[in-house]
Structure 1
Amino acid sequence: MIEDMSSYLDTCKQELNEYLSHALTTNGLAAKLYESMNYSLMADGKRLRPALLMATAETFGVSRRDVLPAAAAVEMIHCYSLIHDDLPCMDDDNLRRGQPTNHVVYGEAMALLAGDGLLTEAFRQLSQPGLDIPASRQLKMVHILSSRAGAEGMVGGQAVDIERTGGQGSLADVEFIHLHKTARLIQASIEIGALFPDLSDAQWSALSTYGESLGLAFQMIDDVLDVTRSTEELGKTAGKDEEEGKLTYPRFIGVEETKRLAEETIQAGQQALRDNGISSPLLEELQSMVLVRSR
């Protein structure tokens, strides 16, 4: 089943990459900016967040191709966050997705602008005509993505992460950082995908809970991988969290307890789906892959 899921994710990735390859093209004076944006956007990432959006919609009979603009929007938000996260004023990293980070290749100023460009382009993708859904739902998608990616979500989590790096903190601080910095955008991917089909409020809320649980477990496993895998395996610098004094789950509760907590968190998401009559082998298998991934 895992092998089948790997093939599914590869298919989602190929379809998204084909769409993204035509999303940002220009021959004008801003060509270098677009080159910088595409350098990071087309790097060999997992594309997990857009795949989750596509899988959620497909679970309820919506074609993956019908949600590609929304999937692209989520990936652009994620990609912009990685570019900014790697800047010298933030985490100061030189490797991302197996290649030199954007600022190493294009300089800090252009990397900053590339991130800004992708952030803005994401909302153009999500708000464009032709998504074949009611305007009220499309507006809700824009609201969700801006909320989950902004100061109440990913950006807020990043801010607290910076404040706590190298200092003291608590397990509650770790949960806040991981919930906002990582889990909220994964949750948004599920929530947006769940707005394409006609679902009840209860079903949508259950999928939102699933997304939050999946996002938290994803970051817990990310913490584990940072201390158990090599740079070559991860495609980014290994051991950096510990070196910089980041607040992580293994730092407070150890590797094995972090793994156990990730499994427990995943089960909470599964229970939310079951309690609302949602049966999806696809979504359940995606949860399993988060727990056993190697990068």
Structure 2
Amino acid sequence: MMNFKEELKKKAALVEEALERYLPPPDAYPPLIHHAMRYSVLGGGKRLRPALVMAGAEAVGGNAADVLPAACAVELIHTYSLVHDDLPAMDNDDYRRGRLTNHKVYGEAAAILAGDALLTLAFELLANNDRARPENIVRVIREAAAAAGTMGLIGGQVVDTFSAGKEIDESTLEYIHRHKTGALYRFSVRAGAMLAGAQEEQLASLTAYAEHLGLAFQIKDDILDVEGDEKKIGKPVGSDVRNRKSTYPSLFGMEYSRKKARQAVEMAKAALQPFGGEADFLRMLAQFVIDRDF
């Protein structure tokens, strides 16, 4: 039986090595921007999204190494969103992944530009998946733009930011989670599968899996923001309360939040019924998402 933690560690190591290779060297001119980019990207992280890209490819018979550029691209998009999310105009956070946030080290201007540069580099990497069919590469690039744009991540961030201090209902909260977090999870699984030549019915099952997984992940994040260990999660707890943001625990309490997360995970696993052992990593990842303490 697969050892999930070892497999996740293996995938993370592949990603770390590739990120080091794909990022501009720190001494390339102008060095300030490249230092800022590398600071946030190489500063730790669970690497779950790139692992999903690789696992999506494997689930449909592909090779994880063949989709490494796309896996790294997803991590760059995710990191750019964190750098911008931490800015004073957004969440105004001082720590991320146990270290000072980018703008606290390099200043706001450099942090904004570093985020822009990471997003731009991500699309270059997506275009460089030369082991995939050209039409699949184009499809993945198009979906990346949608996932990161106003119908995805940015849309979720906008509703999240401008809902602070206001009463919202569960449908609005779920919209925030499914877009701000879920859109990139959805894209991650789909990108790996599409680059590996997935059939449409396989893609539909993996899409349903990713949507439920993303919701479970964000609800668990909300829970950890209330009761997590700051040393493990890498940032102070209670930031949602300080920023007056609505979360599942604040709206519905911890018991309902845990129940909702468990339901989402079970639905994610159920979506993988058409797959056999090739999707075991995805099944274990779903359970890991709600069992984690960081």
- Give the TM-score normalised by structure 1: 0.95
Superposed CA offset, 1:30-81 (max 9, x none): 1110110000010110001001111121233322211110001000000000
Taking the aligned partners of 1:268 and 1:87, their CA distance within structure 2 comes to: 35
Letter in 1 for 2:275: I
Structure 2 unaligned regions, length at least 5: none
State whether structure 2 residue 219 is matched by structure 1 residue 234: no
Aligned pairs, number: 291
The aligned residue for residue 78 of structure 2 is: 78
Match of 1:65 in 2: 65
Residue 114 in 1 paired to residue 111 in 2?
no
Give the Cα–Cα distance (whole angstroms) in 2 for the partners of residues 7 and 29 of structure 1. 38
Deviation at 1:284, TM superposition (A): 0.6
Match in the other structure for 1:138: 137
Q: CA deviation at 1:193?
A: 1.0
Aligned AA (2:290): L
Match of 2:167 in 1: 168
Residue 194 of structure 2 aligns to a residue whose secondary structure is: coil
Counterpart of 2:215, as a letter, is: L
Give the letter aligned to residue 159 of structure 1: V
1:54 paired with 2:60, answer no
Q: Deviations over 1:122-168 (max 9, x none)?
A: 0000012x521111110110011110111100001000011101122
Counterpart in the other structure of 1:248: 247
Contact 1:217 1:265 (C-alpha < 8 Å) held by counterparts: yes
- Report the alpha carbon displacement of residue 246 of structure 1 after superposing the two structures with TM: 0.7
For the pair 1:187 / 2:170, whether they are aligned, the reply is no
Measure how far apart 1:224 and its partner are.
0.6
Match of 2:215 in 1: 216
Shift of 1:177: 0.6
- The alpha-carbon distance between structure 1 residues 198 and 22, as it changes in their structure 2 partners (threshold 3 A), is closer
Amino acid at match of 1:270: K
The letter for the 2-side match of 1:141 is V
Given that residues 190 and 207 in structure 2 are in contact (C-alpha distance below 8 angstroms), is that contact kept between their aligned partners in structure 1? yes
Q: Aligned ranges for residues 78-97 of structure 1 at < 5 Å?
A: 78-97=78-97
The sequence identity of aligned pairs, in percent, is 40
Amino acid at match of 2:147: R
Structure 1 residues 171-180 or 75-84, which shifts more? 171-180
Secondary structure of the 1:255 match is helix
Alpha-carbon distance in structure 2 between the residues aligned to 1:156 and 1:70: 22
Displacement after TM superposition at 1:6 (Å): 1.3
Residue 278 of structure 1 is matched in structure 2 by: 275
Q: How much has 1:25 moved relative to structure 2?
A: 2.4
Matched residues in 1 for 2:28 and 2:56: separation? 38
TM-score normalized with structure 2 length: 0.96
Cα distance in 1, alignment partners of residues 198 and 126 from structure 2: 20
Corresponding residue for residue 5 of structure 2: 6
Large movers: runs of 4+ above 6 Å: none
**Helix, strand or coil: the match of 1:166?**
coil
Matches of 1:32 and 1:243, distance apart in 2: 31
Do the aligned partners of 2:133 and 2:195 also contact (CA within 8 Å) in 1? no
- 1:44 has 2:44 as partner: yes
Aligned match of 2:201: 202
Please, which moves more after superposition, 57-66 or 90-99?
57-66
How far, CA to CA, are the matches of 1:197 and 1:68 in structure 2? 12
Is the Cα contact below 8 Å between 2:59 and 2:193 reproduced in 1?
no
Distance 1:282 1:230 in 2: 26
CA distance in 1, matches of 2:246, 2:41: 28
Instruction: Name the structure 1 match of 2:31.
Output: 31
Counterpart CA distance in 1 for 2:12 and 2:197 is 25
* Separation (CA, whole Å) in 1 of partners of 2:114 and 2:121: 10
Are 1:126 and 2:126 an aligned pair? yes
